[in-house]
Amino acid sequence: MTVVAPVSALVSTLLPIGVALATGERPGLAVAIGAMVPKALNVADKLAKENISVEVIDPRTLVPLDLDAIVESVARTHRLVVAREAAERLRLFAAA
């Protein structure tokens, strides 16, 4: 089950564990985790000013992961960008 909410509601909305939060049905898709969520939302807002729409999904939890929300959005948009933090101290190995 995916909860669709306006971007302004993302920060203050409490959801049950294992339920993703999406910004809405849009042509592009980004899945952001943790500290990358506000950054992804910021980029989505900037792209919206250029008439490029991006749906941001915040899975909220990785275990359990709301894979259905991600798969449904990828099936609809045919696109996926995953934004995650890299380890600051071991940056060399973070992308491995």
Q: Which residues are 55's β-sheet partners?
A: 29
* Domains within the chain, CATH numbers bracketed: 3-86 (3.40.50.920)
Confidence bin at 40 (pLDDT 50/70/90): confident
DSSP string, 14-74: ---TT--EE----SEEEEE-TTHHHHHHHHHHHHHHTT--EEEEE-S-SSS--HHHHHHHH
pLDDT tens per residue, range 12-31: 556 677 887 777 656 666 77
Residue-level pLDDT at 7: 60
Residue-level pLDDT at 23: 73
